[in-house]
Amino acid sequence: MRTTCARPVAAWPNSRTADPRSHDDARVGLFSRRRRPEQTAGWQPPERPHCSCARHLDDGLLQTVLPFTTALAEDLGFEPAPVTVADLLGSGGLSVRPARSDEQVPDEPADLTWHLVADDDARVHYDDTDAGAAIDLDAALALQPGVDRVEWYDREVFLLAAPTLCADGVLACAALTLLDDRVRSTG
């Protein structure tokens, strides 16, 4: 697990969020004995208009075309078809749900409120600093208004301490981060 920079931070799901169960929980049957962990204790996801989101998923943002990494076109040998933020959300390439209590980092404050997934469909829109990007995706996410802290939990999973943002606002933050040119190599 990699810790990132920290900055002084709807009922789910909706049509733009993923299944509220994790990938592991989605395989659990109706009569499973496995107990699902609770959400972060005492926190409830805010709903519009009771959130502090600087931006939500509006038509303008949803219709915005996401740039690809330069390495993708070189690897493919051709320029791929354009992908909009709406396409990425529709494919499940970008999804969010409230973080669970078992997703908190040991010996850290239990303040991680959102579980953000940026899967392989999103991966083609950002590079790591090792590959020439000016800033890693987790650090860029931490710069978004309302995001206090980001933990890169797994290859495709980020945990955010953003208790005043709604699910729509978290997805808007993620989309705006993918639109930031600093998360891609310049060549």
Q: Looking at the predicted structure, is the pLDDT value of residue 12 above 70? A: no
Confidence check: pLDDT of 67 > 90: yes
pLDDT higher than 80, residue 65: yes
- Please name the amino acid found at residue 186: T
Upper half-sphere CA count for residue 62 (Cβ side, 13 Å):
10
Task: Give the domain ranges of the chain.
Answer: 56-187
The pLDDT value given to residue 70: 83
Q: With cut-offs at 50, 70 and 90, classify the pLDDT of residue 41.
A: low
One-letter amino acid of 23 = H
Summary mean pLDDT of the chain: 82
- What is the model's pTM? 0.77
At 109 the pLDDT is 82
pLDDT of residue 137 exceeding 70: yes
Residue 3 pairs in a beta bridge with: 151
Nearest alpha carbon to residue 124 among 168, 171, 75, 167: 75
Strand residue runs (E) in the chain: 2-6, 65-66, 83-84, 94-98, 114-118, 149-154, 157-161
Within 13 Å of residue 22, how many CA atoms lie on the same side as its CB?
A: 21
What is the distance in angstroms between the CA of the first residue and the CA of the last residue of the chain?
Answer: 28
Whether residue 80 has pLDDT greater than 80 = yes
Q: Tokens 């529709």 sit at which residue?
A: 90
pLDDT at residue 31 in the model:
41
- Summarised one tens digit per residue, pLDDT across range 147-179 is 999 999 988 999 999 999 999 999 999 999 999
